[in-house]
Structure 1
Amino acid sequence: MCNLYTERLGPAEIAAHFGVENPMASNVGGEVYPGTQGLVVREAEGRRVIEAMTWGFPLKTMAPTAKPKPVNNIRELSKPMWKGIAAKPQWRCLIPLTGFAEAEGPKGAKTRTWFHVKDQPIFAWAGLWRFDTQYEWGAVYSGVMTDCNDAIRPVHDRMPVLLHPEEYDAWLNGSFDDVLAFQNRCFPDALIEMVRTDEYWDKRKGRVSAPTLV
């Protein structure tokens, strides 16, 4: 599942790509992790806007004192938990990203393998968003997942639902059957670029942790 992606372009560049008229000023960007802030494109009153939101819908655990866990990936839109949201266009969004990563390698020494879309310095992940009132997280979002294509299969069996620019409007404004079709289709293998690195998976904000020896 996707637990790390990047937004390495500024709000103005993101706004130009997604047709947003008035980009917001934001210091959100770089590497985005579950429970942190990322930029999201949604529609309001027939116009696209960019907002900073928390990545992950809060899911309460069984422990009475535990903090909610951010649910950052959506496996099946047809499940009751998601269907009521996905069926309403006002709760759909586009997640701008410049790449996403999966962990690869032995336990304790996993490294980051990055995926990009060829010839697209920025692209979109299909998402849903809502206001969280119970836990006071504010606006939250989560990305929709699907079965991987052959380009990603060597690393993981799932991948984000990636959208072509000409599909943005269909995701934001189409019927529930339209959005289900996106989750059931296979993104072209030829458009995926894979870059294996020696960066440890748990690297955060420029700090690299040595692998744990087991």
Structure 2
Amino acid sequence: MCNLYTNKSTVQEMASLFATPATYGFNVPADVYPQYPGIVVREVHGERVLEQMTWGFPRHSNNKRTGKPNKPTATNNARDDKLWTIWRQWFTDPAQRCLIPFTSFAEAEGEAGKMTRTWISVADQPVAAWAGLWRPTDEWGNAYTGVMVDATKELWDIHDRMPVILHPDAHETWLRADAEEAMTVVTQYPAAKLRVERTDDPWFARKALTPNKNLQI
């Protein structure tokens, strides 16, 4: 599960890479947590645009003690093996797919209570695209989630899942193709093209407003 990623690219860099207009005034954090604003690329009337959305589809539950609704939590990752079931409504509609620009993503390593951040970036893509889905929500406006696959065996010691990192020539397929063809680009990215940086930074060194519970379904 990915619960933290960075996007340190500028609007101009993203606009150039993803062929969108560059006339945006976004104010978003470089470190993106669930329920934080992030940048996605999607198509509107056949043209690509950059758009700010909230990371994570709202998920609702009730308090077991009081029976009252809890605040919604974020389902920020979507399993590839459930794209045809839970996620079918959005996956099968190309207009509901998006690209999530990122420069690295983080996973937690270590024993409970002492976990540290391990960052993974794409050696041959300084700014890469993670395959995503998006939808309008009443709670947070437009929101997005990132598609995950089983990790390559080289990354198993870090985590058993990894984002669907798209090759540049797969961007068009993900944004426009029918579901069967789009599924062909839902694959593992070669481990040889990924950089792993282990740090001593505590995993839970995050701002107080960051949600505590995030899910992958």
2:70 to 51, 66, 71: 66
Identity rate of aligned residues, in percent? 45
Instruction: State the match for 1:26 in structure 2.
Output: 26
Query: 192-201 or 23-32, which moves further after superposition?
Result: 23-32
TM-fit CA distance, 1:79 = 4.5
Q: Could you say which residue in structure 2 is the equivalent of 1:195?
A: 197
Is the partner of 2:175 in helix, strand or coil? helix
Amino acid paired to 2:74:
P
Give matches, 1:1-214, under 5 Å.
Answer: 1-63=1-63, 64-75=68-79, 76-133=81-138, 136-183=139-186, 185-204=187-206
Residue 11 of structure 1: how far off its partner (Å)? 1.3
Letter in 2 for 1:73: N
List runs of 5+ in structure 2 lacking aligned partners: 208-217
Moved over 4 A (4+): none
> What displacement does 1:151 show?
3.1
SS in 1 for 2:50: strand
Q: Is the 8 A contact 2:170 2:185 kept in 1?
A: no
> 2:153 is paired with a residue of what secondary structure?
coil
1:64-102: CA deviations, max 9, x gaps?
A: 230111100001343432111100011000000000000
RMSD after superposition: 1.3
For normalisation by structure 1, the TM-score amounts to 0.90
Query: Compared with structure 1, are the counterparts of its residues 61 and 79 closer, same or farther at alpha carbon in structure 2 (3 Å cutoff)?
Result: farther
- Work out the CA distance in 1 between the residues paired with 2:205 and 2:7: 17
Secondary structure at 1:65's aligned position in 2? Answer: coil
Of stretches 17-26 and 6-15 in structure 1, the one that deviates more from structure 2 is: 17-26
Given that 1:4 and 1:34 are in contact with CA atoms closer than 8 Å, whether structure 2 keeps it comes out as: yes
> How far off is 1:29 after superposition?
3.2
Counterpart of 1:27 in structure 2: which amino acid?
A: N
Instruction: State how far apart, in whole Å, the 2-side matches of 1:109 and 1:166 are.
Output: 40
1:162 partner letter: I
Distance 2:48 2:13 in 1: 14
Q: Deviations over 1:11-33 (max 9, x none)?
A: 11111111112341111131000
Amino acid across the alignment from 2:192? A
Unmatched 5+ stretches in structure 1:
206-214
